[in-house]
Amino acid sequence: MSATAAKPLPVRGPDLAGKVAMVLGSGRDSTATASALASAGAAVAVAGADESAMRRAVRAVRGAGGRALPIPTDVGEPRALELLVDATVEAFGRLDVAVNSPGPVRRAGQLAGSGCRAVYLAMEYELPAMLRAGGGVVVNSALAPPGSRAEDAECVMGLTRAAALDHAGRDVRINAVAYGPGTPEEFAAAALWLCSERAAQVTGAAVPVGLRLAAAT
């Protein structure tokens, strides 16, 4: 019997075709994430307080061949976040995916609230919309770059685990990216994986990205 070479299985990227995603935050992480979600086929609402950053994110989405909607939002205000979710659903018909990367909440150069509080407020409105759509995925950014407050990152991870437990068995997955001094593209790749069916069994996790372990001495 002659041997034949085994053909490798085709490798496909994450498929989010037909999904509606919302990216909360106006930083470089959010721009990279919005572009990655659009490349996977999702329509993306981009929300934040920095309008120039939102325009960059929208250009990135459209450059990836996707649909994008910029929504100026005060991420520290509950009413603004409620209106954000309503506007996303009105524009695209549903909400399937949310990536929350608000960072520290600032007004007029002053720290006005924690990113953890903004994540909590965002999920308060995102999760009911996802449940109405039959399920969904939330990815929260637990920022831990040099100079940031470790307590805020730990708060996001704890909040993520608690919300995942509360929604277990309801077709909603909630995870965090524990983000260190990595690149926006690394964050976006981790978020995209968590949003895809490849991570269908993952919930309540904190996925480390860009964290450098200290060398043993």
CATH number at residue 45: 3.40.50.720
**Per-residue model confidence (pLDDT) at position 106:** 55
Local confidence band at 58 (pLDDT 50, 70, 90 cut-offs) = confident
Whether 129 is covered by a domain: the verdict is yes
Number of domains in the chain: 1
Question: What is the chain's mean pLDDT, rounded?
Answer: 84
**Per-residue model confidence (pLDDT) at position 45:** 95
| Residue 99 CB contacts under 8 Å (≥ 6 apart), including other chains | 21, 22, 23, 24, 25, 30, 33, 37, 138, 139, 141, 191, 195
Whether 6 is covered by a domain: the verdict is no
**Per-residue model confidence (pLDDT) at position 214:** 43
pLDDT tops 80 at residue 174: yes
Per residue in 86-118, pLDDT (tens digit) is: 999 999 999 999 999 987 665 544 444 578 899
Whether 61 is covered by a domain: the verdict is yes
pLDDT tops 50 at residue 2: no
Whether 197 is covered by a domain: the verdict is yes
How many whole angstroms separate alpha carbon 65 and alpha carbon 86? 24
Dihedral of alpha carbons 180, 66, 138, 89, sign = positive
pLDDT tops 90 at residue 9: no
pLDDT tops 50 at residue 180: yes
**Per-residue model confidence (pLDDT) at position 5:** 42
Per residue in 79-88, pLDDT (tens digit) is: 999 999 999 9
Whether 148 is covered by a domain: the verdict is yes
**Per-residue model confidence (pLDDT) at position 205:** 96
Q: Are strands 68-72 and 172-179 parallel, antiparallel or unpaired?
A: unpaired
Q: Compute CA distances 71 → 145, 160, 169, whole Å.
A: 27, 24, 31
Whether 214 is covered by a domain: the verdict is no
pLDDT tops 90 at residue 37: yes
How many whole angstroms separate alpha carbon 25 and alpha carbon 32? 11
Whether 215 is covered by a domain: the verdict is no
Domain containing 58: what range?
Answer: 20-209
How many whole angstroms separate alpha carbon 135 and alpha carbon 173? 8
Q: What is the mean pLDDT of residues 182-187?
A: 89
Which percentage of the chain shows pLDDT scores above 70?
83
Per residue in 124-141, pLDDT (tens digit) is: 999 999 999 999 999 999
**Per-residue model confidence (pLDDT) at position 71:** 92
Whether 135 is covered by a domain: the verdict is yes
Summary count for the chain: helices (H), strands (E): 6, 9
pLDDT tops 60 at residue 146: no
pTM: 0.86
